[in-house]
Amino acid sequence: MKVRLFKPSVGIEELDSIRDSFDSAWLGLGPKVIQFEQQWSRYVGAAESVGVNSCTAALHLALSAFRFPEGKKVLVPALTFASTAMAVLYNRLIPVFVDIDEATLSISLEDLDRKYDKDCVAVMPVHFAGHPAPMDALTAWAKTRGLKVIEDCAHTAGGQYKGKTLGTWGDIGCYSFEEKKCMTTGDGGMISSDDAELLKPLRHSRWIGINKDTWERYEDYQLGHPDANSWYYEINDIGYKYNMNDLMASIGLVQLRKLDLMNRRREEILKQYLTGIGQLETVKPAVPYQLQDSSYWAFVVRVQERQKFLAHMQQQGVATGVHYMPLPMQPLFMKYASETPVASSVWRELVTLPLFTDLTGQEVDYVIESVKQYS
């Protein structure tokens, strides 16, 4: 048997939605993006959302919304994808790498306190694998120090922590709809906040800084306000080609309707995994999976002799992954490195096993048996 690591769950409904965009002959930034933004805001419980082409773009623009002075510092976990810290560099800020909590792999509140100084302006917690960071304690800590909180929700979509949707605890939440994530638009991302005024400039930033996008100009014309100067727009600030388009939104609107069911299916798969490997000594769950109102993107385990385990699983036809090397170990970020001993140690044990909505019970059993053969 061959078992892949990730797979998007898409079907005829998504194709029908794309066909509708084809029929309308509007494929770029248009009405479906607006519709998706509105439905996403209602779903997560945010006042405003802005659709973009990736979570990387979302993180970049989210930090830019605060116009922090160049050279200020942003606290980020050492164990995360490059985009978290890359967004800091894009904004000409300095990433401060914070160690992780050994049990949850989330940013360590203790090390956060140690790494903080008066030049810090923001903190970017990551819900690693979809496991919630302790947002109640973290937001309280940040508030007393005047720090902004940008939640990196690339690994979760629809998950909750203490009854509140992840991504709505901080000042801004940033989501990923890349093909392997909890829901997909092929590629894509979303910025959400309860502060609509904070996000308003980002609508221009995602569209080359133009204050009136093509759809807005077209809509004005359709509403019966034709003007020889309707083409006119202004660019008052730097912008980027970061917009979501209607093809992405076509898929997203359908995926959003399925999201709760997909999250529940992943919970069922995780329960099967946790029961199957629960008594093993050499392979353990990497985080304390909490399977209620959750949205886990990945099933990560801790393994003794990782390279040997990876080779064994490859022989069994089971795809695996490693998410991630600590960023201070990457050449670009080495000059920002500080002491992060837990991240430097724990990452060497981490392995990602297959998890996606369409994974069958038989495939999960096969993965479990393969893991047991190693143990």
Which CATH number covers residue 345? 3.90.1150.10
Q: Are both 112 and 231 inside the same structural domain?
A: yes
Q: Are both 50 and 151 inside the same structural domain?
A: yes
- Torsional sign, CA 172, 176, 182, 183: positive
Going by the DSSP 8-state scheme, the letter that residue 374 receives in this structure is H
Q: Are both 51 and 194 inside the same structural domain?
A: yes
Q: Phi/psi zone of residue 110: left (φ > 0), alpha (ψ -120 to 50 degrees), beta?
A: alpha
pLDDT of the residue at 55: 98
Q: Are both 253 and 266 inside the same structural domain?
A: no
pLDDT of the residue at 230: 67
Confidence of residue 210 (pLDDT cuts 50, 70, 90): confident
Q: Are both 241 and 287 inside the same structural domain?
A: no
Is 124 inside any structural domain?
yes
Q: Which residues face 302 on adjacent strands?
A: 284, 350
Do the Cβ atoms of 164 and 190 come closer than 8 Å?
Answer: no
Query: Could you say which of 259, 277, 302 is where a domain stops?
Result: 259
Is 48 inside any structural domain?
yes
Q: Which residues face 190 on adjacent strands?
A: 51, 175
Percent of the chain clearing pLDDT 90 (strictly above):
90
For residue 352 the two structure tokens come to 């990602």
Is the pLDDT reported for residue 231 higher than 90?
no
Q: Are both 288 and 251 inside the same structural domain?
A: no
Q: Give the pLDDT mean for 346-358.
A: 98
Is the pLDDT reported for residue 229 higher than 80?
no
User: Average model confidence (pLDDT) for the chain?
Assistant: 95
pLDDT of the residue at 157: 98
Is 24 inside any structural domain?
yes
Is 28 inside any structural domain?
yes
Is 164 inside any structural domain?
yes
pLDDT digits (tens, 9 = 90+) for 47-103: 999 999 999 999 999 999 999 999 999 999 999 999 999 999 999 999 999 999 999
Domain with 131, as residue range(s), is: 12-96+106-259
Is the pLDDT reported for residue 185 higher than 60?
yes
Is 25 inside any structural domain?
yes
Rounded CA gap, 57 and 206, in Å? 8
Q: Give the pLDDT mean for 19-47.
A: 94
pLDDT of the residue at 236: 85
Q: Are both 247 and 271 inside the same structural domain?
A: no
Query: Could you say which of 224, 259, 294 is where a domain stops?
Result: 259
Is the pLDDT reported for residue 219 higher than 80?
no
Q: Are both 255 and 267 inside the same structural domain?
A: no
Is the pLDDT reported for residue 120 higher than 60?
yes
Q: Are both 322 and 238 inside the same structural domain?
A: no
pLDDT of the residue at 212: 72
For residue 210 the two structure tokens come to 């133009």
Is 4 inside any structural domain?
no
pLDDT of the residue at 214: 66
Compute the half-sphere exposure of residue 279: CA atoms within 13 Å on the CB side of its CA: 3
Q: Give the pLDDT mean for 22-29.
A: 89
Task: Indicate the number of domains in the chain.
Answer: 2
Q: Give the pLDDT mean for 119-132.
A: 98
DSSP string, 235-283: B-S---B-B--HHHHHHHHHHHHHHHHHHHHHHHHHHHHHHHHTT-SSE
Is 187 inside any structural domain?
yes
For residue 219, give the CATH number of its domain.
3.40.640.10
pLDDT of the residue at 101: 98
Q: Are both 326 and 230 inside the same structural domain?
A: no
Query: Could you say which of 259, 284, 316 is where a domain stops?
Result: 259
Is the pLDDT reported for residue 208 higher than 60?
yes
Q: Are both 27 and 111 inside the same structural domain?
A: yes
172-176/164-165 β-pairing: unpaired
Least confident of 124-133, 227-236, 271-280, 330-339: 227-236
Q: Are both 198 and 323 inside the same structural domain?
A: no
Confidence of residue 211 (pLDDT cuts 50, 70, 90): confident
pLDDT of the residue at 57: 98
Is the pLDDT reported for residue 222 higher than 70?
no
Is the pLDDT reported for residue 226 higher than 70?
no
Is the pLDDT reported for residue 180 higher than 90?
yes
